[in-house]
A = this chain, B = another copy of it.
Amino acid sequence: MSDGLHGAGLRAEAEVLDAKDELRARRDLFVLDDTVYLDGNSLGALPANVPDRLAEVVAREWGRLRIRSWDESGWWTAPERIGDRIAPLVGAAPGQIVVGDSTSVNVFKALVAAVRIARDPAHPDEGRDEIVVDATTFPTDGYIARSAARLTGCRLIPVAPGEVHGVLGERTAAVLLNHADYRTGRLHDLPGLTAAVHAAGALVVWDLCHTAGALPVGLDEHGVDLAVGCTYKYLNGGPGSPAYIYVRESLQDRFDSPLPGWNSHAEPFGMRPEFEAADGALRGRVGTPDILSMLALEAALDAWDGVSVDAVRAKSLALTDFFLRCVEAYVPEGRVESLTPSAHAERGSQVALRCDGAGDVMKRLVEQGVVGDFRAPDVLRFGFTPLYVSFADAERAARVLARTLD
């Protein structure tokens, strides 16, 4: 189909949708240019307040106060304070999330701790001996799950998310699942899968990298045991900004970390040779927190003040619906195939299009100012960050894609 046939109508529709968008003003909180940036599911755009805040942290807190900032600038308590800022975005009450380390490291903590909790408290190193993992997950979760299994004497059982029910049983210790598939954008059934894992007497660990900040997660509501996620995608914390771990309150006194660094000690500055775990979510901390990245993230979270996650979800679905309609209208039939489920209940905040020569196509899109990313072997991935992506962006991206494939 040619650009001209539908173009005027869809462009006009985008204008109307943007004018009605209640989140529209949020866009001004980010540093954007004339690029259509649909890669916020890989690296969120720069929030406009971060440069000044980080400059202040460096010049005043590090440069002038130096060591005193651990107390006076609140550095020491940043992991739990920022965790409490993330909590409402994933449906968690305060006191259950700490920020720090990478997602991979947090997956390790969560899985090993989950296995230990699932076993008889008197014998946490034996008993239930299977870890189930989403075989289609982002690979690092699978690699780390294999290591956690090896170190806890478990067998690793990789299955497609649809087959999880069939492998659960009395040997299952823990199940690690991605809330959304990083490749296709498919959203998995968190409430249903959590309930199924619990029915088998096991614990579930959810990886929220591709959903936190894009849609309601409802950790507390659905009784999730443990969760992890990164902060550099929809939360816009900056490249490699620290990840987080959620430990449900009722499990915290049994959370037995495989990485019991001094920051998780009940009395860290007592410098005592024997380990005694801190109370609460602090058990998820390990070593000295990475302050520059962490405080950049804290500033980035200001963009969420007063935002309803339901509104974010509504806009996300409207954006991906609209983009799919534009693609259908503009792109010659048969050139791309959407891997993203059309049902809203199964869709995250991205659109994945299978496309021959996807790697080259993405390069050419980027050259034309439309930035998504390529995932091997043949996927074009477009992420829609409701805080700063507009309907006009979605229309333009589809238009440029059609021209590129023409």
Contacts and interface: CB of A to CB of B under 8 A. Distances in A.
A101 B103 contact: no
Contacts of A261: 102, 104-105, 140, 143-144
Given A144-B259, A238-B62, A270-B376, A292 B54 contact: yes
A269 B261 CA distance: 31
A240 interface: yes
B273 A135 contact: yes
Given A39-B66, A43-B67, A140 B240 contact: no
A68 B43 CA distance: 10
Quick one: which of A31, A37, A239, A259 has the most chain B CB within 10 A? A239
A96 interface: no
A69 B58 CA distance: 22
Contacts of A66: 35, 37, 39, 43, 45-46, 371
Quick one: which of A68, A292, A293 has the most chain B CB within 10 A? A292
Given A147-B258, A292-B293, A239 B62 contact: yes
Contact of A102 (B31, B33, B59, B287): B287
Interface residues of A, number: 84
B125 A286 contact: no
A173 to B, nearest CB: 15
Contacts of A147: 257-260
A271 to B, nearest CB: 5
B142 A273 contact: yes
A341 interface: no
A85 to B, nearest CB: 18
Nearest to A148: B258
Contact of A287 (B43, B51, B243, B272): B243
Interface stretch (A150-158, A343-351, A398-406): A150-158
6 contacts: A43-B67, A62-B238, A183-B271, A240-B294, A242-B290, A271-B376
